[in-house]
Amino acid sequence: VLEGEPLDGRLAAHNINSPIFDANVKGTVDLTKMTKIFPLEGMTVTGRVSGNVAAAGNMADVEAGRYQNVKASGAVTANNVTYKSKDLPQGVKINHAMGTFNNNQIVIQSLNGTAGSSDFAANGTVSNYLGYLFTPGQPLRGTMNVTSHNFNVNEFMVDPVSEKPTAGAVKAAPAKADGVVPIPKFFDLVLNSKVDNVTYDNLKLQNATGTVTVKNEVATLKNLNFNTLGATFGTSGSYNTQDLAHPKFDLGLDIKQLDFQKAFSAFNTVKALVPLASTVQGVFNTHFTASGEMGQDMLPKLSSLSGSGLFDIVKAAVLQSPTLTQIASLTTLPELKNLQVLNREVKAQIVNGNLVVQPFDLNVG
């Protein structure tokens, strides 16, 4: 009995020079009680973990990294496990989780919980975990499937200038938010996600689905689809931190039925590249690709941007623009005050951070 919890263990060992062991542990651990015995500085952990774990082998194999010669297996169940720290003040709670493991892999049969106000559920497999833990250069491989009804990204964001939590975030200790977020070198992981509602900055995304692969310090986004601002978005791209001083990204966008005014209000990049959009009324579709360098604040460096694409303008009108009004006054052509574009495809490029639009026809007056 450990702090009132049943714990049954067995260990057999022989041969002092090259120990051979055979062990089995079965029971329940109360994490709250354990942290009183072994205090954890700067963090709080609660909950109960039950398991039945067995291991047998030769210590010489363990020390030499020959994990395939060591027999390890077991099953673990966790209930109401919580974790909070200075870096994660909103906390994570695992309501229930079940998993099994052997020499080759860990199988997460089911897992559900919350992170701050966000809920999540997951299942999947992780392989080569022993090699990753004990042998330098060995990759951690795995595939995880994650779902959520509501996920608030803002709770995990920090303002890059003030180092204060963004609106909706829980106040945290100062963080190095102005540094590049590195992608691990020895991860070989696939994450399949499906989220009903996502809150990100000032955006509300619905029906977000997609796949993220992480390998060789590159995170690749495949077929991320979602709805927001009354439009449909499809995106793919990558984020590369193989050179931490100059992290790179590329992005492909397919957008259908996006309102000009909503795009201007929601996206800082649109404000920077297309300031005229503030005076445009209408709807457009686009297929656009862009690439460039990320700054230390994890925002694109506009001067590094390059890209090209096609804007399918379903309907657009520039009405009462101060610039056009002045041009109309100088040219004594009052019809220039209002411009209209209907069902027109417009080619555009981003060159050195500037949006260059190819000539196209429009209606005046």
Same-domain check for residues 129 and 231 = yes
207 plus 110 within the same structural domain: yes
Residue 239 in any domain: the answer is yes
CA–CA dist 284, 280 (Å, integer)? 11
Is 90 part of any domain? no
pLDDT of residue 175: 37
| DSSP-derived secondary structure letter, 18 | S
Of 31, 58, 85, the last residue of a domain is: 85
Rounded to a whole number of angstroms, the distance between the first and last alpha carbons of the chain is 87
Same domain? For 220 and 279 the reply is: no
Q: Does a structural domain hold residue 96?
A: no
- Residue 92, domain member (yes or no): no
How confident is the model at residue 160, as a pLDDT?
A: 47
Domain co-membership, 260 together with 330: yes
With respect to residue 91, please indicate whether it lies within any of the assigned structural domains: no
Distance CA 207, CA 232 (A): 10
328 in a structural domain: yes
Q: Structural domain tally of the chain?
A: 3
Q: Kindly state whether residues 216 and 135 are assigned to the same domain.
A: yes
Residues 127 and 192 in one domain: yes
Does 166 share its domain with 230?
yes
The span from the CA of 188 to the CA of 89, in Å, is 29
* The domain boundary residue, chosen from 184, 211, 245: 245
Q: What is the pLDDT along the chain (365 residues), one digit of tens a residue?
A: 556 677 788 888 888 777 899 999 999 999 998 888 888 888 999 999 999 999 999 888 877 777 778 888 999 999 999 999 988 889 999 999 999 999 889 999 999 999 999 999 999 999 998 888 877 888 999 999 999 999 998 887 655 444 555 545 544 443 343 467 889 999 999 999 999 999 988 899 999 999 999 999 999 999 999 999 999 999 999 999 999 899 999 999 999 999 999 999 998 888 888 877 888 889 999 999 999 998 887 778 888 999 999 999 988 887 666 666 666 666 665 666 667 788 889 899 998 888 898 887 766 65
Q: What domain range is 28 assigned to?
A: 1-85
Instruction: Judge if pTM exceeds 0.85.
Output: no
Same domain, residue pair 120 and 79: no
DSSP string, 247-297: -EEEEEEEEEEEEHHHHHHH-HHHHHH-GGGGGEEEEEEEEEEEEEEB-TT
Partners of 44 in beta bridges: 84
